[in-house]
Amino acid sequence: MARKLFGTDGVRGTANTWPMTADMALKIGAAAGRYFRNDGSNGHRVVIGKDTRLSGYMFENALVAGLTSTGMNVLLFGPVPTPAVGLLTTSMRADVGIMISASHNPHHDNGIKFFGPDGFKLSDAAEAEIEALVETEIEPAKAGNIGRAKRIDDGRFRYAERLKASFPSGVSLQGLKVVIDCANGAAHRVAPEVLWEMGAEVIPVGTSPNGLNINENCGSTSTGTAAEAVVAHGADIGICLDGDADRVMIIDEKGVVADGDQLMALIAGRWADEGRLAGGTLVATVMSNLGLENFLADKGLRLERTAVGDRYVVEAMRKGGFNLGGEQSGHIVMTDHATTGDGLLAGLQVLAAMIETGKPASALVRQFETVPQMLKNVRFEAGKTPLDTSSVQAAIKDGEARLAKTGRVLIRKSGTEPLIRVMAESTDAKLLEQVVDDIVAAVENAA
């Protein structure tokens, strides 16, 4: 069945607009409850976390109503990072975990992400079954079997201990000045606390959420404020998280930003030297820079590419038995420590490298020279299929032919927004720009 609700990362959209309405959240909760409480017993649990969006209250209550109506018992953790939900799902022996968040999107968007009992995001097949249940008349539990809801206050502390346990034993952050930008999101309390407890001097940014300012001029998608703070305070490093703290960008002591590709190169190289990189392989998406692939090849390591989306990265990691993967956008997945992308966990890996090597951030997060890459987004109207038109297909084929010897072309439809993403790479920067502009023009005409 073709999926209408679920995209590449759960259900997502503008709050109070289909599919992100309270009514739909109630139905999704009931469908998930029916899917996981499939034996009629009352011992089934679900954990729910959220970020700091104003609409999170509405969706939390609607999901609780739907879940408890089918007999599920709900444990509410309030604002916690997405990776904390993966952890808490397993530690609380829950059947399912739910994170209410639209990640790096602005406050008016929201989303619902699901984790299975193993702490990993649900498969496409499981999401399709839940979506099918949404379309049916879901039988509620009998009055005596309605589920209960309970607030748990120590979720972020449990998560904090897992983070600290990932750091080299006996090593502290004493003497390091760290800017931490929490994007006014889910990590606004736990991230500064962890860094301070580990000995760092902490300069917090984006730690005053009001329900409407998540990711606004801060966080991993807007690093300017944190970069200014790094330079102004003479900090050693800046760690920029997004709204649900599952992705990260690093700012070196000069105020220069390093993306997920550079961080994966650093961690992969270190782990390979230590004999810790499973299968000598890093898993990344088709969006990662060719420079990363060349860097790994020079070290005798392999890059396995997947479709865009951290869930597909994790699926490939689990299938191949690999322990490191991620995305250029800053999702870094380390399955030795977590079940999904974890921005603060990745930041701690960089801090550990700084301490152990004695090198500044600028010397560590520039592992390779990037191949010039250009990405442009074209918005299209609902119901349109611009990629299917002959003119767009012809433009893409022409671009591929022109870049065949110097780079590559990647065109894809966003899984979360009505956008066509036109990306290309080439060692010939002028040719790269011409090819991207020609394809963009064709898509715009068709859209």
Please write the tens of the pLDDT for every residue from 108-121. 999 999 999 999 99
Query: Given this model, what pLDDT does residue 38 score?
Result: 79
DSSP 371: P
Query: Given this model, what pLDDT does residue 162 score?
Result: 96
Does the annotation count 208 as an active-site position?
no
Average pLDDT over residues 417-435: 92
Query: Given this model, what pLDDT does residue 124 score?
Result: 87
Report the percent of the chain where pLDDT is more than 90.
Answer: 91
Q: How confident is the model at residue 385 (pLDDT cuts 50, 70, 90)?
A: confident
- Let me know: does 365 contact 266? Beta carbons within 8 Å: yes
Query: 3-state DSSP helix/strand/coil percent for the chain, to nearest 5?
Result: 40, 20, 40
Alpha-carbon distance of 240 to 361, in angstroms, equals 14
The per-residue DSSP string of 413-446 comes to E-SSSSEEEEEEEES-HHHHHHHHHHHHHHHHHH
Average pLDDT over residues 311-317: 94
Report the percent of the chain where pLDDT is more than 70.
Answer: 99
Q: How confident is the model at residue 383 (pLDDT cuts 50, 70, 90)?
A: confident
CA dihedral angle for residue 35, residue 92, residue 194, residue 206, rounded to 10 degrees:
30
- Angle in degrees, CA 129, 141, 51, rounded to 5: 60
User: Domains along the chain?
Assistant: 6-154 (3.40.120.10), 173-257 (3.40.120.10), 260-364 (3.40.120.10), 373-446 (3.30.310.50)
Please write the tens of the pLDDT for every residue from 10-47. 999 999 999 999 999 999 999 999 999 978 788 899 99
Copy the structure tokens of residue 100: 């209410």
pTM score above 0.85: yes
Q: How confident is the model at residue 414 (pLDDT cuts 50, 70, 90)?
A: confident
Please write the tens of the pLDDT for every residue from 391-401. 999 999 999 99
Name, in order, each residue with C-beta under 8 angstroms of 321's C-beta and a sequence gap of 6 or more: 278, 279
Please write the tens of the pLDDT for every residue from 118-131. 999 998 899 999 99
Average pLDDT over residues 174-183: 98
Please write the tens of the pLDDT for every residue from 320-372. 999 999 999 999 999 999 999 999 999 999 999 999 999 999 999 999 999 99
How far from 168 is each of 157, 164, 325, 360, CA to CA, in Å? 19, 9, 20, 18
Computed over every residue of the chain, the mean pLDDT equals: 95
Of 55, 69, 101, 103, which is the active-site residue? 103
Position 308 pLDDT exceeds 90 = no
Average pLDDT over residues 262-285: 98
Q: How confident is the model at residue 2 (pLDDT cuts 50, 70, 90)?
A: low
Please write the tens of the pLDDT for every residue from 222-233. 999 999 999 999
Position 1 pLDDT exceeds 60 = no
Q: How confident is the model at residue 413 (pLDDT cuts 50, 70, 90)?
A: confident
Average pLDDT over residues 402-421: 87
Query: Given this model, what pLDDT does residue 9 score?
Result: 85
